[in-house]
Every structure is written in C-alpha cells, then in structure tokens.
Amino acid sequence: MCGIIGYTGPKSVVPILIEGLKKLEYRGYDSAGVAVVNKSKIQVRRVKGKIIGLEKNLKLSPLNGSYGVGHTRWATHGRPCEENAHPHQDCTGSIVVVHNGIIENYLPLKQKLKEEGHTFCTETDTEVIAHLVEKYFQSSLEEAVQQAVQELEGAYAIAVLSTRDLGKIVAAKDGPPVVVGLGDKENFVSSDINPLLNYTQKIVFLEDGEMAVIGTQGVKFCDFKGSVLEKKVEHITWSPLMIEKGGFKHFMLKEIFEQPQVVRDTLKGRISLDSGKICLDEIGITPESLKDITRAVIIACGTSYHAGLVGKYFLETIARVPVDVEFASEYRYREFILDEKTLVIVISQSGETADSLAALRAVKEKNPVSLAICNVVNSSIPRETDGVLYTHAGPEIGVAATKTFSAQLAALALLALHLAQVKGKINEKESLSFIESLQRIPHKMENILNQAKSIEELALEFVSFSHFLYLGRGVNFPVALEGALKLKEISYIHAEGYPGGEMKHGPIALIDEKMPTMTIVPRDGVYEKMLSNISEIKTRDGYILAVAFEDDEEIKEKVDKVIPIPSVHPLFTPFLATLPLQLFAYYIASKRGADVDQPRNLAKSVTVE
C-alpha cells in the first residue's frame, strides 16, 4: 500500500515524479503529493484524490526543483485528505518524509515528541518519522535517519530529504519494498521498478535494515548502523512497453488478453515434449529434498489463494500429495502443525503481501521446505523462501489480478508434475498426456478471447443487477470464487462463490429473478451433480448462465445462456473457464463506469496487515 518515488538528476524533477507516481498508483490512490528542493528551499504540494488531481494542480501552479520525492497513498492512519497526504514535514519545514507501511508505536512516540515540544499537524503515523529525524539531526541526514529508525516499530519504506543536508535523498527499508535505480548522472528510488524502466535497467533491491543515500553523482548503501554495504546491481529485463496499455481501454483488458502468452512463457523451457520431463532446476530446491515431502501447505491471499485452491487439485491428483490451502491472514495466527517434510508454498503475485510474508516468517520456525510462486523477481517473499518458481506474466498493473492467476495455475501444474515425477507417482505416458494438454491451453485461450464480443453483449444484459451467485464444483469451485471476486472488486456488484452442492444448505433461499447464477459446468466427474444443482435453481425461477464445453448440447436445454469454452482435460478447466468470467466482470464494470484498473478502497500490493 502506498507508493514512494524519488529522483535526483539533471532533468526536470516534477514530471518524473508525476509519471513515476502514475505507475505506482495501483498501490494506493486516495491522496498524493510531492516535495521538491529548489535553491535550498523545500516546496510541498499535496492533494486529496488521484495523481491526475495533483498533476492538474501542478500545471496551474508549477513547482521547480533539482530533486524531490513523491507519494501516492492508501490510507491506514488518518482519513484521506490533503492534510494527511504525504510528504510530511517536521516542525521547521526543513525535513520531509514519504512513507509506505505502518509505524505501530506512533502513538507513544507522538506523545513523547509532543512533550519534547514538537508540534504535529496530521493524524498520520508517518509524521513521527519527520519529527524523529528533526530530533536527531546534527550534521548529516543519513545519521539522523539511522537514529530515527532505531525508535520505529512496524513496517516502513521511507524516503527523506532535508535542506539541512542538501543534494541527497535518504531511503530506508524495514518491510515494504525499496528499489534504487542507477542511471547516467541521475538516480532514483521507488517502491517498485515500473517507474524506472524508462530510465534505467540497473536496479538495486534494498533488504530490511538497509539504507541508500541517493545523490546525483552516486548512491551509497549502508546498514542502520552506518556500515557501508556493497550491493549487487541487477539488470532488469522488463521493458517500458510492458507497462503501457497498448491500445486497450484498460490495463485489465490488456492483461486478460495477454493470458495465452503468459501461459506459454511460464511453461517455456520447463517441459519436454519428448521425454515428458519437467525441468525445474532453477527453483533452488533439489529433487532429493522434494522426494521426501509428505504434504504441502499453500499460503496466499485473494486471487493467489484461489489459484492455491486449484493447485490443491493439481497436486493431489497428479502428485498424490495431500494439500491444505490457507488464507495467510488466518494461518499466521494459528497453532499450525508443520514439519521438515512439509512443503510450504507461498503464492503471491507481488511477493510483498504483508500477511503472506508474515505467515512465511512464522512457518519457517518449523523448518519446512519453502517455495514461493511469485511474479516479481527479487521481491520480499522469494527472498525468504528456500526456492522460487517465477511466473512469467510480466508486470500486472490492473488492481484486479487476471493474467497472474493463469500464470500461477501454469506454475502449479508444472510443480505438480515435477513432484509426481520426483516421487515416482506418474509414468512417462501419463506425464506426456498432461503436458500435451497443457501445451494446447494457450491456443484454446485464444479461441475464448476471440469470442470477447459475444461475452460483452451478454454481460451488458446484466449491468443493472445488484447480486450474483457463482457456482462450481471440484476444481471449478475456486473458479466460481475467482469469478465472484472479479465481479465484486471491479463492478461493486455483490457476488458470492459457492460449491454447487452447498446450495441447498442455505444459499438457495436467495434465489429469485433478481439473483442470476453463473455456473461452471464442464463435462467432468461432477457434471451430473452440477446439472442437479442447476435444476434446483431453475425450479425456483432462477436465471442461469453456464460456462460449458462447446460440444455440450445437453446443457443448452438446462440453462438460459451458455458461454462456450473449448473442451480440455477436466483438471485443467480452470485455465479456460476463468477467462469468460474475467471478461464478463470487466464488461459489466466498464459499462457501469467503474474505475476498472483502480477500484475504490483497493490497492495492488497489500503491504500492511
């Protein structure tokens, strides 16, 4: 939550900060601000609302400066308003701070600082940082920040500047991400790499307890005690084009359409069509360590959790390994039972989700084998697991996860096959059969996307509904959950996902002509059961849509509308069935005029509890 950015170099600083903030806006968008230094004077501009408002404000009344910092906020402490927007200042106005995270002990710190004579202007936790830096300032900004952070409890990625020590931005990290971009006579700090891609591909990732002192001529890295650090410079392969809309109305739509390629890219180089072998040498966990695994626990949040529920079916069916799937936010507080023969799989697109990271840290005390399935290279979660299986989805900007879900499914299918091979649970013929099915999925996804127009026409009939039910069984129950999540998060229509068989235990009471039901009904082992559930709804005047195999004639007689998908190995139906549900939600939300890429109250990376 929240995005921070900083720039120092010869270019005009405000446009770089604004462009950077737009690329970080997915992290939070209830207020924004910048601070720039001009001839030993700090100028701050803040607005309630989105970056576009800040940009307009700065056009009407421009700020000039040689370096500066910016912030886009997702409010945690203090309501979204101009006063609570970052950057925050000390009593003298000579120090400003932008912050991503939560300072948990801000109330006692604030009380103490007030007693010492500091005056506070906001309701935020962040403001204490500015006053602490003020308190400890003697000669250098980095020394003051080093002392200030000793007093902080919680999570923070901060960027600080001061007119008392000109020409530098000091960044510090404990929790949320901080990346430093190394350019040609210009340097950057940011919450992620997206704002930097137009300027440099040379990136340094800060670890917890590390700081960067960023100047135009160079960057110095040190720890919180001031010891100088040699940091590895990573070369990033993502290109600036990947974070453009490419002619689509929204990032979400572009990302939905990228799914065939994303699945291809995630499978590429990891499967052999000759031998049926899965090659995951890169993951950092040896086949020997995996061989002794007796169970797996998947930990995740949101859409990644739904991918985990599908993954349970893949792993249990293909590798015959029992799997529990857990919400990270619940699991971390449980008396969980794990041992060193448990494979803990943390699934996270961003690799920064606070609950997933905290759950990972909690389980590590029991010494399981830990694996991240993650999309962002070098993010916090894969840095703390024994191994990582990266999804090759490229940057996902839309707050609603779409292409990364498909990439996670591809990674989970690979993992299931790999585990099955390592444990001798599958023969070559069976392997080849699964691999061939997987290989055909991208093409089948393209066939579905080619029908987007007819899905749009169908979706438009439901724009004014207020409630929706999504039903699936078996491996498609998580698809129902994901379809419902997509609809509610981007269109604000109430939607519930349910296993079909649970209908008669309560939810069926909701059925009337105002509550349509979206069903996922491939011809699989529970097809007949789903037909019975459909019939139960139909007899109560419910309206039914069905995502079903295109060659299924029977279903057409049973439901009101069919959304056809190509037939596929039943276990892999989620790869295909999810796409029409994403499109259905997208077209409804878009028609309702919702802010599809940045739905209200949400942020892409939930880096606070």
Among 310, 401, 422, 563, binds ligand M6R (CB under 6 A): 401
What would the DSSP string read from start to end of 350-397? SS--HHHHHHHHHHGGG--EEEEEESSTT-HHHHHSSEEEE-------
Part of the chain binding ligand M6R (CB under 6 A), chosen from 66-74, 196-204, 239-247, 598-606: 598-606
Q: Is 500 in contact with 472 (CB distance < 8 Å)?
A: yes
User: Which secondary structure element, helix H or strand E, spans residue 309, and what is its range?
Assistant: helix 302-314
In the bound complex, which residue of the shown chain has the CB atom lying closest to ligand M6R? 302
Q: Is 2 in the active site? A: yes
Nearer of residues 530 and 608 to ligand M6R, judged by Cβ: 608
Nearer of residues 187 and 404 to ligand M6R, judged by Cβ: 404
- Residue 353 touches ligand M6R, criterion: CB under 6 A: yes
DSSP 87: P
Separation of alpha carbons 599 and 489, rounded Å: 7
Among 348, 391, 421, 519, binds ligand M6R (CB under 6 A): 348
User: Which secondary structure element, helix H or strand E, spans residue 344, and what is its range?
Assistant: strand 342-348
Residue 350: CB minimum distance to ligand M6R, A:
3
Residue 304: CB minimum distance to ligand M6R, A:
4
For the record, the structure tokens of 33 come out as 């601000």
- Residue 412 touches ligand M6R, criterion: CB under 6 A: no
Among 253, 263, 400, 546, binds ligand M6R (CB under 6 A): 400
Nearer of residues 208 and 489 to ligand M6R, judged by Cβ: 489
Q: Is 604 in the active site? A: yes
Nearer of residues 42 and 363 to ligand M6R, judged by Cβ: 363
The residue annotated as part of the active site, out of 50, 254, 558, 604, is 604
Task: Give the interface size with ligand M6R as a residue count (CB under 6 A).
Answer: 16
Residue 147, judged by CB atoms within 10 A of its CB (0-12, 13-18, 19+), counts as middle
Nearer of residues 262 and 602 to ligand M6R, judged by Cβ: 602
Residue 40: CB minimum distance to ligand M6R, A:
41
Residue 353: CB minimum distance to ligand M6R, A:
3
Residue 604: CB minimum distance to ligand M6R, A:
7
Residue 181: CB minimum distance to ligand M6R, A:
22
- Residue 481 touches ligand M6R, criterion: CB under 6 A: no
Nearer of residues 162 and 329 to ligand M6R, judged by Cβ: 329
Report strand pairing: 154-162 vs 179-182.
unpaired
Residue 485: CB minimum distance to ligand M6R, A:
6
Part of the chain binding ligand M6R (CB under 6 A), chosen from 38-46, 223-231, 399-407, 529-537: 399-407
Distances (CA, A) of 246 to 156, 249, 250: 34, 9, 9
Nearer of residues 130 and 579 to ligand M6R, judged by Cβ: 579
The single-letter code of the amino acid at 494 is H
Residue 548: CB minimum distance to ligand M6R, A:
25
Residue 508: CB minimum distance to ligand M6R, A:
27
- Backbone phi, then psi, for 361, in 5-degree steps? -60, -35
Upstream peptide bond of 87 is cis (omega within 30 degrees of 0): yes
The residue annotated as part of the active site, out of 2, 222, 301, 374, is 2
Among 57, 191, 266, 349, binds ligand M6R (CB under 6 A): 349
Q: Is 472 in contact with 576 (CB distance < 8 Å)?
A: no
Nearer of residues 313 and 586 to ligand M6R, judged by Cβ: 586
Separation of alpha carbons 149 and 4, rounded Å: 17
Residue 36, judged by CB atoms within 10 A of its CB (0-12, 13-18, 19+), counts as buried
Nearer of residues 36 and 410 to ligand M6R, judged by Cβ: 410
H helix and E strand count, the chain: 19, 24
Q: Is 49 in contact with 37 (CB distance < 8 Å)?
A: no
- Residue 606 touches ligand M6R, criterion: CB under 6 A: yes
For the chain, the residue count is 609
Binding to ligand M6R, residues 277-336 (CB under 6 A): 301-304
Q: Is 82 in contact with 67 (CB distance < 8 Å)?
A: no
Part of the chain binding ligand M6R (CB under 6 A), chosen from 83-91, 92-100, 220-228, 349-357: 349-357
- Residue 356 touches ligand M6R, criterion: CB under 6 A: yes
Separation of alpha carbons 71 and 99, rounded Å: 8
- Residue 578 touches ligand M6R, criterion: CB under 6 A: no
Part of the chain binding ligand M6R (CB under 6 A), chosen from 38-46, 239-247, 330-338, 394-402: 394-402
Part of the chain binding ligand M6R (CB under 6 A), chosen from 13-21, 79-87, 393-401, 463-471: 393-401
Among 201, 350, 391, 476, binds ligand M6R (CB under 6 A): 350
Torsion sign, CA atoms 269, 580, 503, 500: negative
107 Cβ neighbours under 8 A, 6+ residues apart: none
Q: Across the beta sheet with 295-300, what order do the strands follow?
A: 323-327, 295-300, 342-348, 369-374, 387-390
43-46: long-range pairs with CB below 8 Å, 24+: 44/87, 44/89, 44/96, 46/82, 46/85, 46/86, 46/87
Part of the chain binding ligand M6R (CB under 6 A), chosen from 27-35, 102-110, 505-513, 599-607: 599-607
Q: Across the beta sheet with 67-73, what order do the strands follow?
A: 41-48, 31-38, 67-73, 3-8, 187-190, 179-182, 202-205, 234-235
Taking residue 453's Cβ as centre, other Cβ atoms within 10 Å add up to 10
Residue 401: CB minimum distance to ligand M6R, A:
4
Nearer of residues 438 and 606 to ligand M6R, judged by Cβ: 606
**Where do contacts with ligand M6R occur on this chain (CB under 6 A)?**
301-304, 348-350, 353, 356, 399-401, 489, 602, 605-606
Query: So which residues are the catalytic ones?
Result: 2, 604
